């Protein structure tokens, strides 16, 4: 396993549509996934998409461990926000509700920044694992947010492009100032009509 260099916002690999994986069981894909997991863990990320490590293919890895779930989210909703370490090859997302929730997101390709991003509150995702088996799960809350964020990378989209207002793009070092000033922004929801 190798810790790979992470592409940063502005690099062309992050702007393109990733190509489908033809053989999810190939040794090349297994090595890529092992490197992605190692890189994600080393960088303390919740997820990583192949384009972020300079590979323009449709592969994502993610996890939503309990310690990464925002505490205010877990308290207000009764469902499980967590997800085990998951590999998705050629993922697909089906949005199950028009309801959107705002949450602060960061990205290993946009280091040191956070942005307030609306995302669907319920999704179903599917794809293949490393054995070529179908994976399909329903997700809500933080789990859904992580999956949507990582799959956006496969279509050349970074989270600032999903934001409603760039005034809500801040440096992590300034986040403590916003937590007391705008608590309702992080939890507000909207319906797409």
Q: Tokens in use for 95?
A: 């949005």
> What is the C-alpha separation between 76 and 98, in angstroms, rounded?
19
Based on the structure, what is the number of domains in the chain? Answer: 1
Q: Could you confirm whether 174 is annotated as catalytic?
A: no
77, 94, 150, 190: which one is catalytic? 150
> Does residue 4 lie within any of the structural domains?
no
CATH number at residue 36: 3.90.45.10
| Host domain of residue 186 | 12-191
> Does residue 93 lie within any of the structural domains?
yes
- The pLDDT value recorded for residue 148 is 98
- The pLDDT value recorded for residue 149 is 98
> Does residue 165 lie within any of the structural domains?
yes
Low-confidence ranges of the chain (pLDDT < 70): 65-82, 178-193
> Does residue 101 lie within any of the structural domains?
yes
> Does residue 5 lie within any of the structural domains?
no
pLDDT tens digits along 73-120: 444 343 455 678 999 999 999 999 999 999 999 999 999 999 999 999
- The pLDDT value recorded for residue 178 is 65
> Does residue 171 lie within any of the structural domains?
yes
> Does residue 7 lie within any of the structural domains?
no
> Does residue 97 lie within any of the structural domains?
yes
Tokens 């205010």 belong to 72
């Amino acid at each position: 396993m190798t810790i790979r260099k992470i592409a940063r916002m502005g690099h062309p690999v992050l702007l393109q549509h990733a190509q489908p994986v033809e053989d999810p069981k190939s040794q090349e894909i297994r090595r890529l996934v092992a490197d992605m997991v190692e890189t994600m863990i080393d960088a303390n990320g919740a997820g990583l998409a192949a384009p972020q490590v300079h590979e323009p293919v449709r592969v994502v890895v993610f996890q939503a461990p309990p310690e990464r779930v925002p505490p205010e989210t877990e308290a207000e909703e009764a469902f499980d926000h967590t997800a085990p370490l998951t590999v998705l090859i050629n993922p697909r997302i089906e949005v199950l509700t028009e309801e959107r929730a705002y949450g602060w997101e960061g990205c290993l390709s946009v280091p040191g920044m956070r942005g307030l991003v609306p995302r669907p509150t319920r999704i179903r995702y599917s794809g293949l694992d490393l054995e070529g088996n179908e994976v399909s799960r329903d997700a809500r809350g933080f789990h859904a947010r992580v999956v949507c964020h990582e799959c956006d990378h496969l279509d050349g989209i970074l989270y600032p492009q999903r934001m409603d207002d760039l005034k809500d793009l801040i440096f992590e070092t300034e986040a403590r100032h916003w937590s007391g000033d705008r608590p309702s922004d992080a939890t507000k929801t909207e319906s797409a009509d």
